[in-house]
Structure 1
């Protein structure tokens, strides 16, 4: 092949002809060209234009994904023209991207806490992870759960329907959970640098937390004797108990924070000395001076105090107050002062406020509690003077007000009413109209003076919290616009810590993430939420009012699990679940897009969530058509397409029907294809957000293909499944969504022993003892041939091996097998005589160059979708397809070159006639093959007889022969354990045909996909009467019991069994299979969920699912596939560990101590299989075997495994109606 020489970014490159610029750039790692509509397994599309590059000599930029390389081409991938064009393309796409990258509540939170995320984790039942998520932005979650002003709730979209989600109440539930402080903070290694922090309020504590986590030593200097600042001294204990604050402080100290209380900066140590001692300073000194009412006599009258003095005093000493107390103000400090006075036995408490209750800035719930406690609220009145007698307060002179025009705060300005003055007799006046800073000793330093605002607060860069002095940062009440609320101070501490860390490392702060939000165009409003049903908000539970008097016990007692479930369910999950990996958002951030550039009309679409597994949000669709093109690769008749033209173009299901009503097979591969959040999955559990997951790679265990999957785990049985992430690696609906079975069904978590009609939970040791005693007892009384062990073909090889050992070494019986295989007439070693092994002759890659594919007794689209994709792609590239099934689907008839429908159980007549015709016409010959004479002896087959007995046309045989004649690379696909269209001798016919075709020079392979994951492993591991472990044939003088699967079936049907151990199968759910066990004196079962069989068992052991059990399985190709334990089993033990424990109770020495030992042992046992990284050494030759077709349809056994039952239920009721019960 002549290579093409070209230049890319000035570098000379050689590449193969036919490649695109994008492919060459990526192969040579020359640049990271952005793409949205491109995916390597799909044909180039070139719609998004974000991958454009400049080619010398061409007037216009070209899409690199669709432009083939040419000799002497010169390409630039990142000049200014290219960058500007990409930015414009992104801005155009985003101009019609009506979406919320993050939820309004998260954006509304000053600290940017992932509110939607922790609500989702709470809904999932993962409180510890939820609290940890809060702490990623806010290290005081328990404090905020009690005192936060809930700015997140102010912007909650739910309020457009009824009332905001009780976000803070959910946080209270989470922080009250027993594991809220269970984890240790994860900190980077120490940097050797330290930061001095002035003040231990919310800003100082927050800065210490984040600095400590970054490996920077935080040292806090607190003037008071106790930590917490205004959290302790400004908020009464009935709202924020000391022990709650203490817990938070102690947890922050685990990051290495050092706290020195009773140290006043400017008195005990100078700011200058502190700056010299530390690499940087953060001043969070708070605002401890109360604002004046500006009335004469307030500073020298006994009985007039500020809230800033009153609350700290009562925090340390709760001396009672008497008489009438008047509190001036309408904020939270006023509420706290009034409610504290009431608790301290004031005869009467009045809150005086110059506006109305509606304008009060205090927390609405605080106002409600205040009024419940009997505090009076005097609205539209303001103090104008003090009446005193002998220097003591006698009354407060007030004036009535009215509301005028709105002021700068947006509230209507209070206007005095002339002649409305009155005196309000009282014994104590508390001024709570605001606070000021006192920064004496906190501004002067050798290098200059820290600049202050006119409000006596530090001038800071609000992004970095940096003052005008190098290395000095400030935040909280003492900075910028002055006193504020706890969550604002937490934001300042968080920002300061990040900024200080960057400054110390001489690095720039990271840019703020790029986000799109719907409010950019306009607030969505109720119309958009029209289908959301109203749901009453749940509030915190509180103690009764009469219990509060004379008590500082916490008023709010908490939130119940039921309340939490209700409120998390009310969450609308507004933010995008693809925030972290949305290509559009990430490219927008990288290229610095300007949302205002093309701002204009935006199309708004209704989100379609009618599909049980998928959500389609057309507002986020960028029309890249990756989902459509992926669907075309998977289905002969795709379910998705583009409708409309121009600006009105949309991606929609066929005929604009609900997706579930189309040809959609619910495989979810469109979700993987989508570069934005337009197509997303529904989780089989509550909660929906973009969250970090623990990702573990393993394989699917539903069928014998064993596709690679990624399990994305949020924790505690909350996980979902995606594909491997490799281009072209797809999943079927079972592989992607089948985990709903394991999550939604109740799990067996303990060993159970029946006593009468009830079950007792017992340790496994006790359960083991009962099984050993009773199984051996029955074997002694009735003979070991009357005892059996049965295993599900879904289990691992390791579980098969242990079950085999328990049967043969523990009980002394050769009755070991799978009811699912035995009951459907499955035969052991069916190809051993022909090939020397019973497995596929190749892997699925043999399809890649095939020119004829024969599918017999298959329903690939339903049973083995991923194999069907390979077949469809090959057919689209010109390969011929023959399908033979008694029932032909629309897809069969649409795709197949020849679709044949022999009568059920008679397909072998058809294929035998085809083979005979091939021999008669000289296309193939048995002459040079071993077994020829025996094969031809007594052989009787003809085209007309075969067609007649099979119920097909003669033309079907002749057309099949013609297609075979013209083919050079043939692949035969036949499901060996699918009873629907199995017929006697069919697989032997295909083996003979394959051998003769190979001899005739036609490369031919046989693929044998199994319906159940590890059917092939049964023989290999000795879980079959005909074989010992290692697939060693059983000897004639073997243990008592069956010698073949047919023998074991006869024992079952005769009712001779007296005891059985059934692992992972459910025969007692059906009359036919249940009758096999009617005479059992003892029945043991093992499963991961309760079944009719476990309910009937004397002893039940908990099992585990394929996602929970590490081990190996043999796939249909004959490869040993390694499975990882991706999820922890609820019982705490995997099925392998449970069986190992039972084997040991039988006195069997097991060798399952490590994965390495197990796989080494398996490698020795399965030499005729591929092992990881090896290929089977087969020369393509074998022995012809005589065949005699019979007209006999296989009996269709009820589904005995969970996977079989799941698939059957879905097929019977349809995806749209199926629900896991």
Structure 2
């Protein structure tokens, strides 16, 4: 059947050359295709890191668990694919359900499939795997106790991820947190309609059930001294987060009680104290925190006749508590979010911005706050702003105007609360870290998470993993060495061979050199995953057909329905959908068993390894006595797994 004109125009996949371009790379065919046996180059199978994993701050083996979900990499006989994918994913990240929902997914921005039609929905498959792990009640394994203990200060994503990694290595772990419950910014900084509390608590409980000791409502530096921790524990990890919001650095901001920070606002909402806002709310920011504040304000609404004690600023500052019954008379709040940057350049995730707009948040971009205007009672009544040029930096002369408000929330950045351990902090209110996440000049002290530099939840999780590696080396008195260039949780072929009962024999040098026929080495395989990320131009993108991304359904309320709407917005994929979406992964840098190299080899030099020797990454090999170095196998390899390098 002929392809329709519409499909030809809208469903193109990959084109190596645009109209009018010449094929300069192949101007001389003889330079590219070697004849007979004159070439000294033969194929080598090279494992590289895909850009999705290279873009993931927690370093997940994304390609690995996608290949498991799609059925290419097989689990051990005693395990189903769902658990095997869960185990592979949680090697790096113990919060797949949470991160599958709220991570802004830099992995998807880096996905090579963007060069074909659209990225793989990595978050949606992670969401499915995480929820399956909770429903099937998968537990984490604990390493053999080694007698060493580590104190973790802070029970947020970094602290809990560190506790998870430490227990896997056999270390005792005690988490100290100054809140009534664990979770940190995952619980107190992100609304429940984005991170459902049963999901978050389930993933936290799975970590504490590993034998993690927990000390809640405990402020290290006040309730227990740093010196005491140094005496009682073999190492200390600081994962205290950033709980101080930055105030607006403009006149009037410090003097008005109804000027709050986004951190304080969200913490009061998430612990149940804040249930109403004012009629006119202005939020200054542009990042995810500002979006959350604005969206929460739209859901809470206001009451027309409000008592002084019920004003939101009194609730947030801890002076009183809301009467739940008063919420019955609430009305929608007018919420405006101000950003210096154009909307398209805001730091917040694009879909979060779009959801906020749908929910009725008025986003005004390219404005700069100048002054908080106070009334005769010292309350903020307006914010004076100045318009900016399209660059978000250059002021427009004479463009100042006032925005009326009842509540002003600053969400422009965060810093740490270091009372009791100020000596660890720097001049910016953070804690310095070296490449191993050690605190410089403080042996035995390590640090991870936002207190190093505020960033994503997944960044905090990744830093915790590296910090635990460093703690492990430190407590074993081992040289820390240099971190890998591509510092991730990589697929390990040797471990896979062991899992399949195919571990190579011990090396015994006899008379012959080379590894082609030996059973003590992996034939013509090279692992460059710790050093190289494979770009799209090393793939054969023409192999991949147009396949639309399967999108999760999102229950985003309209501006008319948002009041009181606290149900979860993102709905997960079914098992069938998750596997179908995973199948769109191009397995960049790792064989996905397409048979192209076998089919197109003119000499039958490339062959499938026997089934009883086959495992992931060992699907094909080369008979060098037949190979003529023609390059065809490398040219038709969709994943870039084959290099013509043998002999160089």
- Normalized against structure 1, the TM-score is what? 0.39
Once the two structures are TM-superposed, the CA of residue 500 in structure 1 deviates from its matched residue by 0.8
- The corresponding residue for 2:335 is 349
Q: 1:428 aligns with which of 396, 407, 432?
A: 407
**Matched-pair contact (CA < 8 Å) for 1:608–1:615:** no
Once the two structures are TM-superposed, the CA of residue 260 in structure 1 deviates from its matched residue by 1.0
**Matched-pair contact (CA < 8 Å) for 2:589–2:641:** no
1:1015-1094 mapped onto 2 (5 Å cutoff):
none
- 1:571 matched to 2:585? The reply is yes
Q: 2:242 aligns with which of 287, 310, 320?
A: 287
Once the two structures are TM-superposed, the CA of residue 225 in structure 1 deviates from its matched residue by 1.0
1:75-90 mapped onto 2 (5 Å cutoff):
none
**Matched-pair contact (CA < 8 Å) for 2:65–2:88:** yes
1:1166-1205 mapped onto 2 (5 Å cutoff):
none
Q: 2:418 aligns with which of 439, 444, 450?
A: 439
**Matched-pair contact (CA < 8 Å) for 2:286–2:339:** yes
Q: 1:396 aligns with which of 383, 388, 395?
A: 383
Is the alpha carbon distance of 1:172 and 1:268 closer, same or farther for their aligned partners in structure 2, counting shifts above 3 Å? same
1:118-517 mapped onto 2 (5 Å cutoff):
118-124=65-71, 126-177=81-132, 182-316=137-271, 317-345=273-301, 346-389=332-375, 390-404=377-391, 414-444=393-423, 450=424, 452-479=425-452, 482-509=453-480, 516=528
User: Deviation digits for residues 486-532 of structure 1, max 9, x if unmatched?
Assistant: 01110111111111122111123476568647996994359952342
- The corresponding residue for 1:558 is 572
C-alpha distance in 2 between matches for 1:178 and 1:490: 19
Is the alpha carbon distance of 1:369 and 1:105 closer, same or farther for their aligned partners in structure 2, counting shifts above 3 Å? same
**Matched-pair contact (CA < 8 Å) for 1:324–1:425:** yes
Is the alpha carbon distance of 1:327 and 1:100 closer, same or farther for their aligned partners in structure 2, counting shifts above 3 Å? farther
**Matched-pair contact (CA < 8 Å) for 1:302–1:392:** yes
1:1109-1124 mapped onto 2 (5 Å cutoff):
none
Q: 1:106 aligns with which of 53, 64, 68?
A: 53
Classify the secondary structure of the residue corresponding to 1:204: helix
Once the two structures are TM-superposed, the CA of residue 268 in structure 1 deviates from its matched residue by 0.8
**Matched-pair contact (CA < 8 Å) for 2:256–2:374:** yes
C-alpha distance in 1 between matches for 2:383 and 2:480: 53
**Matched-pair contact (CA < 8 Å) for 1:153–1:164:** yes
C-alpha distance in 2 between matches for 1:522 and 1:280: 37
1:914-993 mapped onto 2 (5 Å cutoff):
none
Is the alpha carbon distance of 1:417 and 1:102 closer, same or farther for their aligned partners in structure 2, counting shifts above 3 Å? same
Once the two structures are TM-superposed, the CA of residue 434 in structure 1 deviates from its matched residue by 1.0
User: Deviation digits for residues 868-890 of structure 1, max 9, x if unmatched?
Assistant: xxxxxxxxxxxxxxxxxxxxxxx
Once the two structures are TM-superposed, the CA of residue 443 in structure 1 deviates from its matched residue by 3.9
**Matched-pair contact (CA < 8 Å) for 1:236–1:340:** yes
- 1:627 matched to 2:622? The reply is yes
C-alpha distance in 2 between matches for 1:437 and 1:486: 16
C-alpha distance in 2 between matches for 1:370 and 1:677: 42
**Matched-pair contact (CA < 8 Å) for 1:202–1:229:** yes
**Matched-pair contact (CA < 8 Å) for 2:175–2:213:** yes
- The corresponding residue for 1:61 is none
**Matched-pair contact (CA < 8 Å) for 1:460–1:468:** no
Rg: which structure is higher? 1
C-alpha distance in 1 between matches for 2:605 and 2:395: 57
C-alpha distance in 1 between matches for 2:89 and 2:534: 29
C-alpha distance in 1 between matches for 2:605 and 2:448: 43
C-alpha distance in 2 between matches for 1:493 and 1:105: 20
Judge which range, 488-497 or 561-570, deviates more: 561-570
C-alpha distance in 2 between matches for 1:359 and 1:607: 42
C-alpha distance in 1 between matches for 2:622 and 2:333: 72
**Matched-pair contact (CA < 8 Å) for 1:502–1:508:** yes
Is the alpha carbon distance of 1:462 and 1:180 closer, same or farther for their aligned partners in structure 2, counting shifts above 3 Å? farther
- Normalized against structure 2, the TM-score is what? 0.72
- The corresponding residue for 2:518 is none
- The corresponding residue for 1:1048 is none
Is the alpha carbon distance of 1:562 and 1:526 closer, same or farther for their aligned partners in structure 2, counting shifts above 3 Å? farther
1:716-795 mapped onto 2 (5 Å cutoff):
none
Once the two structures are TM-superposed, the CA of residue 366 in structure 1 deviates from its matched residue by 0.7
C-alpha distance in 2 between matches for 1:467 and 1:186: 32
Higher relative contact order (CA 8 A, sep 6+): 2
Classify the secondary structure of the residue corresponding to 1:227: coil
User: Deviation digits for residues 991-1014 of structure 1, max 9, x if unmatched?
Assistant: xxxxxxxxxxxxxxxxxxxxxxxx
User: Deviation digits for residues 335-388 of structure 1, max 9, x if unmatched?
Assistant: 100000000014211111111111111111111111111111111112111122
Classify the secondary structure of the residue corresponding to 2:368: strand
Is the alpha carbon distance of 1:403 and 1:193 closer, same or farther for their aligned partners in structure 2, counting shifts above 3 Å? same
- 1:539 matched to 2:551? The reply is yes
**Matched-pair contact (CA < 8 Å) for 2:373–2:380:** yes
**Matched-pair contact (CA < 8 Å) for 1:202–1:231:** yes
**Matched-pair contact (CA < 8 Å) for 2:606–2:623:** no
Q: Which structure 1 residue ranges, 5 or more long, are not aligned?
A: 1-44, 49-92, 405-412, 445-449, 579-605, 618-624, 633-639, 644-648, 660-675, 680-1221
C-alpha distance in 2 between matches for 1:222 and 1:521: 38
Once the two structures are TM-superposed, the CA of residue 157 in structure 1 deviates from its matched residue by 0.3
C-alpha distance in 2 between matches for 1:525 and 1:418: 47
Once the two structures are TM-superposed, the CA of residue 218 in structure 1 deviates from its matched residue by 0.4
